[in-house]
Amino acid sequence: MNKKYRSVGRSIRKKGGVEKVKGDPVFAGDIELDNPLVLKVKRSAYAHALIRNINTEEALKIDGVKGVFTSKDIPGVNLLGIINRDQPLLAEERVRSLADGIALVAAETEEAAQLGIDAIHVEYEKLPAVFNPVEALKDGAPKIHAKGNVLFTRAVLKGNADDGFEKAYSIIEKEYTTSAIEHNYMEPDAGAGFVDEDGCLVIYASTQNPHYDHKELVSLFALEDENVRIIQAATGGGFGSKLDLNVQGFIGLALLHLKVPVRYVYSREEAYLATAKRHPFTIKIKTATDRDGRLIATRVRAVCNTGAYGSYGIAVASRSAVHGTGPYSVENVDIEVKCVYTNQTYCGAMRGFGAPQMALAHESQMDLHAEVLGIDPLAIRLLNGLEVGSLSGTGQLLTSSVGFKDCLHAIAPYYEEAKKSWVSTCSTPFKRRGVGLGAMWYGIGNTGVQNPSTARVTMEPDGTVTVFTGCAELGQGSTTVLCQIVAEILGISPDEISMVVGDTRYTTNAGATSASRQTYISGNAVKDAAESLANVLLTEAVNRLQVPKNTLVLENGEVTTTGNPDCGIGIAVLAGRIHDKGGVLSWQGYFDPETVPLDPKTGAGVPYATYAFACQMAMVEVDTLTGEVTVEKVVAAHDVGRAIHPENVVGQICGGVAMGVGFALMEKFEQGKTESMKDYHIPTASDVPEVVAIIVESEEPTGPFGAKGVGEPALIPTAPAVINGISSALNYRIYDLPASLERVLEASIQAGHFGVQEE
Sorted by where each starts, the structural domains of the chain and their CATH numbers stand as 17-25+452-591 (3.30.365.10), 31-127+189-265 (3.90.1170.50), 277-446+599-750 (3.30.365.10)
How far are the Cα atoms of 193, 444, 451, 452, 523 from residue 592, in angstroms, in the given order? Answer: 33, 12, 6, 4, 11
Q: Which of 310, 89, 270 has its CA nearest to residue 189?
A: 270
In the structure, what pLDDT confidence band is assigned to residue 181 with cuts at 50, 70 and 90? very high
Kind plus residue range of the DSSP H or E element containing 224? none
Q: Is the pLDDT of residue 152 over 60?
A: yes
Q: For the segment 95-120, what is each residue's pLDDT rounded down to a tens digit?
A: 999 999 999 999 999 999 999 999 99
What does residue 260 show for φ and ψ, rounded to 5 degrees? -125, 160
Q: Measured between alpha carbons, how far is 352 from 513 in angstroms, rounded to an integer?
A: 13
CB 107 within 8 A of CB 61: no
Q: Provide mean pLDDT across the span 227-248.
A: 96
Tell me what the pLDDT averaged over the chain comes to. Answer: 96
Q: Measured between alpha carbons, how far is 483 from 463 in angstroms, rounded to an integer?
A: 16
Q: How many CB atoms lie within 10 A of CB 231?
A: 23
**What residues contact residue 503 under an 8 Å CB cut-off, 6+ apart?**
210, 229, 230, 231, 232
Q: For the segment 43-67, what is each residue's pLDDT rounded down to a tens digit?
A: 999 999 999 999 999 999 999 999 9
pLDDT at residue 1, rounded to an integer: 41
Query: What is the layout of strands, in order, in the sheet containing 431-443?
Result: 431-443, 611-623, 629-639, 690-696
CB 356 within 8 A of CB 715: yes
**What residues contact residue 607 under an 8 Å CB cut-off, 6+ apart?**
318, 319, 322, 394, 396, 443, 447, 448, 595, 596, 598
CB 289 within 8 A of CB 373: yes
| CA 666 centroid distance within chain | 20
Q: Provide mean pLDDT across the span 481-504.
A: 97
In order, the DSSP letters of 33-59 are -SSPEEEEEEE-SSSSEEEEEEE-HHH
Q: Measured between alpha carbons, how far is 319 from 154 in angstroms, rounded to an integer?
A: 9
Q: Measured between alpha carbons, how far is 474 from 477 in angstroms, rounded to an integer?
A: 8
Look at residue 14 and give its three-state secondary structure.
Answer: coil
- Mean pLDDT is lowest, of 57-71, 216-230, 316-330, 668-682, for 668-682
pLDDT at residue 324, rounded to an integer: 98
Stated length of the chain = 759
pLDDT at residue 737, rounded to an integer: 98
Rounded to two decimals, the pTM is 0.96
Strand partners, 307: 341
CB 338 within 8 A of CB 304: yes
Q: For the segment 251-307, what is each residue's pLDDT rounded down to a tens digit?
A: 999 999 999 999 999 999 999 999 999 999 999 999 999 999 999 999 999 999 999
Q: Measured between alpha carbons, how far is 461 from 325 in angstroms, rounded to an integer?
A: 54
Q: Is the pLDDT of residue 540 over 80?
A: yes
In the structure, what pLDDT confidence band is assigned to residue 184 with cuts at 50, 70 and 90? very high
Q: Which of 67, 40, 37, 82 has its CA nearest to residue 219?
A: 82
In the structure, what pLDDT confidence band is assigned to residue 532 with cuts at 50, 70 and 90? very high
How far are the Cα atoms of 54, 472, 497, 501 from residue 469, in angstroms, in the given order? Answer: 43, 8, 13, 5
pLDDT over 70 percentage in the chain: 99
In the structure, what pLDDT confidence band is assigned to residue 425 with cuts at 50, 70 and 90? confident
pLDDT over 90 percentage in the chain: 93
Q: Is the pLDDT of residue 759 over 90?
A: no
Residue type, 533: L
Q: Is the pLDDT of residue 3 over 70?
A: no
What secondary structure letter does DSSP report for 603? Answer: -
Q: Measured between alpha carbons, how far is 404 from 382 in angstroms, rounded to an integer?
A: 9
Q: Measured between alpha carbons, how far is 704 from 344 in angstroms, rounded to an integer?
A: 41
Q: Measured between alpha carbons, how far is 187 from 177 in angstroms, rounded to an integer?
A: 29
In the structure, what pLDDT confidence band is assigned to residue 2 with cuts at 50, 70 and 90? very low
Q: For the segment 308-361, what is each residue's pLDDT rounded down to a tens digit?
A: 999 999 999 999 999 999 999 999 999 999 999 999 999 999 999 999 999 999
Burial grade of 612 (CB within 10 A; 0-12, 13-18, 19 or more): buried
Within 275-403, where are the H helices? 313-322, 355-373, 377-384
**What residues contact residue 354 under an 8 Å CB cut-off, 6+ apart?**
279, 281, 304, 315, 316, 317, 319, 320, 323, 337
CB 441 within 8 A of CB 613: yes
Q: For the segment 705-746, what is each residue's pLDDT rounded down to a tens digit?
A: 999 999 999 999 999 999 999 999 999 999 999 999 999 999
How far are the Cα atoms of 46, 83, 272, 349, 515 from residue 310, in angstroms, in the given order? Answer: 19, 8, 18, 10, 17
